[in-house]
Structure 1
Amino acid sequence: MAGVGGVVGGVILDESVLLASQQLQHPDSSSSSHSSSNCAFFQPDAHFLLRKLRHSNIPTGISYGPGLEAHKVSILKEVATQYSIHCFILDASSIDDTTREVELAWRNIGGCILYLVSNKKRDIYPKLSKCGWLITILNVEGSSACENSSMVYINKLQELPLTICHINRKAIGNSVVTVGYIMKPSREEDFAKRGAFPMYPTQDGLMFVPLTFELPLSPQLQEVDVVLHKATDEIISIDLNSSLQSSNTITYSRGMQELQRYMEHHLDLCVIDPLNYIYPVLDRLKIQQILLGLEDLKTRGCRAIRGPNFLKVDDFNQAGLIQSLSETKLALPSIVKPQVACGVADSHSMAIVFRVEDFKELTVPLPAIIQEYVDHSSTLYKFYVLGEKVYHAVKNSTPNADTLMKLSGSNELKPLVFDSLKSLPTAKGNPNSGDGNSSKDTDHCIDLELVTSAANWLMRKLELTIFGFDVVVSNQVQFAQLYIIATHNFTKLSCKPMLMR
């Protein structure tokens, strides 16, 4: 194993930094479940840290002394199972045995062991230092975090990922690019479990570190070369009365505002993507207007790709609605979506409308976009653009119009109201249902050359590095047209993406 000063190849968290000295009162502590009991005995930020380490590509373990109470040992082992990490017995008298056990468990880890412990276990420091372990002390007395040749001091558990990043950067130098990322926990978890955010440097020279608004941002940002953000997770409100090209249109959380100010004063910091570049994808009207430019893209066989016909409405009772629908070539059924595409409540509240008179009682937030409904045999293609690479996955989608009418009711044809993030109108056993688990049977329907051209066109138009869009293939014409029905900056992947060949 590498000595102190090398890359962190493994992390062991001592029970003294994980377990609280007495049972904490949590909102769910009255529950009889094991998970609630575990939370009550754990330090507030312990699970935060374990979640960050779980998919970090750095082997992680928990250690405890042989004299620890049985119920606490049980809690530690249950948590170790939950996060798929190792448990080791470790005290001053068993160091040699434990180091051999760690070496057997983590063969060829390629770095030193970082051992996070409280300052109550000073007797163990010297022997572990001689083994090449890097002792990192959680300073419960609140002294300033510092570092010397053999020990590192931190004040909070949340600081450990940044500490690992700092140690690795110091060991590797300029040959690694550090990406700091920030997004809501559920999205981060989805990306991380797919191996997207390793803290251990990759073969491509990339290393990722989670940023948190719970700590001062400036010291965190000084450790990174690139900031990857999902700013729409931090939107509080959007003012559609202003132009969405204006930064004053969007109100972000306090933490995101702090990040925004830092980026404005550090223009050399690489940001993916600059905040002003994401404004168009927040506005479904703006995106529809941009997609009008796609109609010049065609490939052999007369296939074309475009956005669906659309109409913006500020009031579902507005005079001349029927005429406006006709002028914009909108037939029924149509799908109705809020103009705000994401970041605020109800932005995914939609409806499929079958009769003009039903617009009057519609509950979709205004202003709204009425959009052409395209029969597409329940098959949706989700495309992801990452720089010059384009990926796609196949998902189940809403059925064709005739099936939707049966779902609505044969007599009344009431609007189908739904939240597109939670559940879509579907028909079990529908012969037109697509297979969301494989693209083998459906890839022949999609013109990948045409969609790649559209992806490159959109990348130039939007100036985004990472974004996605949804495509459906119409089954109503001899030479099926492709429709881009939604565009968004990067989102969590609902299935494994496949590289377009």
Structure 2
Amino acid sequence: MAGVGGVVGGVILDESVLLASQQLQHPDSSSSSSHSSSNCASFQPDAHFLLSKLRHSNIPTGISYGPGLEAHKVSILKEVATQYSIHCFILDASSIDDTTREVKLAWSNIGGCILYLVSNKKRDIYPKLSKCGWLITILNVEGSSACENSSMVYINKLQELPLTICHINRKAIGNSVVTVGYIMKPSREEDFAKRGAFPMYPTQDGLMFVPLTFELPLSPQLQEVDVVLHKATDEIISIDLNSSLQSSNTITYSRGMQELQRYMEHHLDLCVIDPLNYIYPVLDRLKIQHILLGLEDLKTRGCRAIRGANFLKVDDFNQAGLIQSLSEAKLALPSIVKPQVACGVADSHSMAIVFRVEDFKDLTVPLPAIIQEYVDHSSTLYKFYVLGEKVYHAVKNSTPNADTLMKLSGSNELKPLVFDSLKSPPTTKGNPNSGDGNSSKATDHCIDLELVTSAANWLMRKLELTIFGFDVVIQEGTGDHVIVDVNYLPSFKEVPNEVAIPAFWDAIKKKFELKRTT
């Protein structure tokens, strides 16, 4: 193993920083009795935060405890170790040699030193572990701020450890590593992290990821990173569509995101994927529809067209002349109705498919709204992902054709189909056009990849986004390729990890290198 000056190749968390003791009152005892309470261990809430970050970090992680620890506490630790798929080691001053051998066997391919996080109550264990090349990191030293010396590191909170690892590794490796700080909601982070997208240990092409948290001051965290990767839409509180989305003043972010926004505005040399003003168009379905109008000049030699869906913005479903407006917008029924706000707020995915003009008046879709052409597409949706200069796609089942939708609505009344597009889009079992890949109408051969790739490159230049996605359906009869949705920083989970993750890293690295040279 490398000495203290090397990168952190493994992390061991001592039970003294993971378990919290609390006094529980016996119900049959007087509060004045000296024997009226007993110690009960619980797991520190911040420890779950830390373990969730380390779990998929590409850094081996373990928990240690002394041989005399109470059985119920050991049980808690082992349960947590199983939950996070990490090792458990028995460690005290008398068993250091045995434990270090066990760690080497468990982590035979470790690429750096062991960082051992422990409380200052176990000082007797520090010297010998330091001699073994372990980096002793001490939590909660009263009166101390987060700092380091030649053999020890001091931190005040468990949440500081990922940033501490980042700092140590940057110092050991030097300028050859690019550090990416990322912020997104926990469920999204978990989806990316479990695919190996956010390693804290440097990748072969020199990227290292560190989670940013609004629970700690942002400025010290951001000083450690070269690139900020964000999903700002996770932090939107409200959007005002009465003014232009060209201005950030129309979007109200969480307090933490506002702090991040101010930092980015005052540190223009920081590489951001992507600047907040670049994502504003994908928040507004009307703005995206207008942008997609520019696709009309893209055609292949086969003269197939790629376009956005026909659309109409409405501020009131009871507005006068709605029938005429629909006709002028080349909209026939059924049509799909979507909120103008595309993401980030409640009900942005609340939609409806309307079959009769008179049913618009009682519609519950939030206003302002976009009435959009419903394209018969054999229940087949093509999801495209742009990762830097690379374009990937996947085929998914989608909503059925209009005639089948009418059966779902009810043959007599044709009531609007109201649904949440993320949870319960209209489908039908046994649909012959299910888009399962077996139908001649629903195979990969239908898609004109040259045409859609041209559109992807056009959108990349137009939107100036590094990572985005869009959905394409192929209109029955005409063969038109219709883009029905555009979104920022999608999960691209349909693309195999061995393909998607290197492309994801490459897109980030190239964006950083471009920023550095401009």
- Residue 347 (structure 1) shift: 0.7
Q: Structure 1 residues 131-140 or 357-366, which shifts more?
A: 131-140
* Corresponding residue for residue 342 of structure 2: 341
Residue-by-residue CA offset, 1:96-135 (whole Å, 9 max, x unaligned): 1111111111111111111111111111111111110111
* Corresponding residue for residue 424 of structure 1: 425
Q: Structure 1 residues 413-422 or 150-159, which shifts more?
A: 413-422
User: For the residues of structure 1 that align with 2:273 and 2:373, how far apart are their CA atoms?
Assistant: 32
Q: Cα gap change, 1:317/1:442 in structure 2, threshold over 3 Å: closer, same or farther?
A: same
User: SS of 2:442's equivalent?
Assistant: coil
Q: Cα gap change, 1:79/1:36 in structure 2, threshold over 3 Å: closer, same or farther?
A: farther
CA contact (8 A) 1:23 1:40 kept: no
Residue-by-residue CA offset, 1:346-400 (whole Å, 9 max, x unaligned): 1110001111111010000000000001111222121111211112222221111
CA contact (8 A) 1:119 1:138 kept: yes
User: SS of 2:108's equivalent?
Assistant: coil
CA contact (8 A) 1:350 1:364 kept: yes
Q: Cα gap change, 1:339/1:34 in structure 2, threshold over 3 Å: closer, same or farther?
A: farther
CA contact (8 A) 2:350 2:365 kept: yes
User: For the residues of structure 2 that align with 1:206 and 1:154, how far apart are their CA atoms?
Assistant: 24
User: SS of 2:20's equivalent?
Assistant: coil
User: For the residues of structure 2 that align with 1:464 and 1:277, how far apart are their CA atoms?
Assistant: 7
Residue-by-residue CA offset, 1:181-217 (whole Å, 9 max, x unaligned): 1011111111111111110000010000000111001
TM-score by length of 1: 0.90
Q: Cα gap change, 1:499/1:412 in structure 2, threshold over 3 Å: closer, same or farther?
A: farther
User: SS of 2:39's equivalent?
Assistant: helix
Q: Cα gap change, 1:133/1:252 in structure 2, threshold over 3 Å: closer, same or farther?
A: same
User: For the residues of structure 2 that align with 1:267 and 1:476, how far apart are their CA atoms?
Assistant: 33
User: For the residues of structure 2 that align with 1:35 and 1:193, how far apart are their CA atoms?
Assistant: 45
* Corresponding residue for residue 141 of structure 2: 140
Residue-by-residue CA offset, 1:136-168 (whole Å, 9 max, x unaligned): 111253521110111100000000000000000
User: For the residues of structure 2 that align with 1:354 and 1:269, how far apart are their CA atoms?
Assistant: 50
CA contact (8 A) 2:338 2:369 kept: yes
Give unmatched runs, 5+ long, in structure 1: 478-489
Q: Structure 1 residues 193-202 or 379-388, which shifts more?
A: 379-388
User: For the residues of structure 2 that align with 1:311 and 1:76, how far apart are their CA atoms?
Assistant: 58
- Residue 435 (structure 1) shift: 3.4
CA contact (8 A) 2:13 2:118 kept: yes
CA contact (8 A) 1:394 1:437 kept: no
Q: Cα gap change, 1:497/1:379 in structure 2, threshold over 3 Å: closer, same or farther?
A: farther
Q: Cα gap change, 1:7/1:184 in structure 2, threshold over 3 Å: closer, same or farther?
A: same
Q: Cα gap change, 1:124/1:181 in structure 2, threshold over 3 Å: closer, same or farther?
A: same
CA contact (8 A) 1:391 1:499 kept: no
Q: Cα gap change, 1:494/1:444 in structure 2, threshold over 3 Å: closer, same or farther?
A: farther
User: SS of 2:337's equivalent?
Assistant: strand
Percent identity, aligned pairs only? 96
User: For the residues of structure 1 that align with 2:329 and 2:92, how far apart are their CA atoms?
Assistant: 75
CA contact (8 A) 1:386 1:466 kept: yes
User: SS of 1:143's equivalent?
Assistant: coil
Residue-by-residue CA offset, 1:278-314 (whole Å, 9 max, x unaligned): 1111100000000001011111222111001000001
- Residue 492 (structure 1) shift: 16
- Residue 465 (structure 1) shift: 1.2
CA contact (8 A) 2:437 2:444 kept: no
User: SS of 2:282's equivalent?
Assistant: helix
User: For the residues of structure 1 that align with 2:261 and 2:25, how far apart are their CA atoms?
Assistant: 36
User: SS of 1:500's equivalent?
Assistant: helix
Give unmatched runs, 5+ long, in structure 2: 474-494, 500-504
CA contact (8 A) 2:380 2:442 kept: no
CA contact (8 A) 1:191 1:493 kept: no
For the pair 1:22 / 2:16, whether they are aligned, the reply is no
Q: Structure 1 residues 428-437 or 129-138, which shifts more?
A: 428-437
Q: Cα gap change, 1:498/1:217 in structure 2, threshold over 3 Å: closer, same or farther?
A: closer
Q: Cα gap change, 1:169/1:81 in structure 2, threshold over 3 Å: closer, same or farther?
A: same
Residue-by-residue CA offset, 1:215-265 (whole Å, 9 max, x unaligned): 001100000001111111111111111101011111111111111111111
Q: How many residues align?
A: 489
* Corresponding residue for residue 279 of structure 2: 278
CA contact (8 A) 2:386 2:392 kept: yes
Q: Cα gap change, 1:347/1:298 in structure 2, threshold over 3 Å: closer, same or farther?
A: same
Residue-by-residue CA offset, 1:414-458 (whole Å, 9 max, x unaligned): 111111112211112222122399999732121111111001000
User: For the residues of structure 2 that align with 1:188 and 1:397, how far apart are their CA atoms?
Assistant: 26
User: For the residues of structure 2 that align with 1:30 and 1:108, how far apart are their CA atoms?
Assistant: 54
- Residue 2 (structure 1) shift: 0.8
CA contact (8 A) 1:273 1:464 kept: yes
User: For the residues of structure 2 that align with 1:140 and 1:390, how far apart are their CA atoms?
Assistant: 50
Q: Cα gap change, 1:89/1:40 in structure 2, threshold over 3 Å: closer, same or farther?
A: closer
Q: Please give the root-mean-square deviation of Cα atoms over the aligned residues, in Å.
A: 6.2
User: For the residues of structure 1 that align with 2:511 and 2:38, how far apart are their CA atoms?
Assistant: 35
* Corresponding residue for residue 481 of structure 1: none
Q: Cα gap change, 1:34/1:496 in structure 2, threshold over 3 Å: closer, same or farther?
A: farther
- Residue 327 (structure 1) shift: 1.0
Q: Cα gap change, 1:436/1:199 in structure 2, threshold over 3 Å: closer, same or farther?
A: farther
User: For the residues of structure 2 that align with 1:277 and 1:32, how far apart are their CA atoms?
Assistant: 65
